[in-house]
Amino acid sequence: MTEGFELEISGQLSPQWQIQTGFTHNVSQLDNVRVVTVIPANQFTFYSTYKLDGALDGLTLGGGARWMDQTWANLNNPAYGRVLFTAPSYWVVDAMASYKFNDNLLATLNIRNLLDNKYYTFYDWYNGYAWGAPRSVLLTMTYKF
């Protein structure tokens, strides 16, 4: 049986400042023993944006963080017996900036994993560990007709 909950709060603290935060808890158990450990039981996110005004009118800055709980698997290996594979919990920081040139043209820069943290994601069975996504940068231009 899988039980859990998800909480999310988002809002506008001022006309320029918005936040979004969330927490997810999800546990699969059989006879009170956790059976799915390769998916994080807990996850947390926090993001915020702020629209500047005055001389910097049109510029929005934002950022946030994502946290994933540790994952693990206790597997049978024919050569070594039971082997515990663990991927520790981790934080990743993201950032963004956008500039609205006019009602039609918007440019947005997103940077995921801003600090280029090295972390593992985990795949079950003997696939072992995989590196999490490194820093990535995406620049988009949007023009509305």
pLDDT of residue 123: 62
pLDDT of residue 127: 60
Whether residue 95 contacts residue 115, with contact meaning beta carbons closer than 8 Å, is answered with: no
Helix (H, G, I), strand (E, B) or coil at 63: strand
pLDDT of residue 15: 94
pLDDT of residue 11: 97
The segments of the chain whose pLDDT lies below 70 read 122-128
Report the C-alpha gap between 13 and 28 in whole angstroms: 36
Residue ranges per domain, the chain? Answer: 2-143
Report the C-alpha gap between 110 and 96 in whole angstroms: 4
pLDDT of residue 71: 87
pLDDT of residue 120: 84
The residue ranges of DSSP E strands in 16-80, in sequence order, are 17-30, 33-34, 42-51, 59-68, 71-77
pLDDT of residue 121: 79
Report the C-alpha gap between 91 and 9 in whole angstroms: 20
Beta bridge partners of 18: 12, 49
Instruction: Write the burial class of residue 61 (CB in 10 Å: 0-12 exposed, 13-18 middle, 19+ buried).
Output: middle
pLDDT of residue 92: 97
pLDDT of residue 75: 76
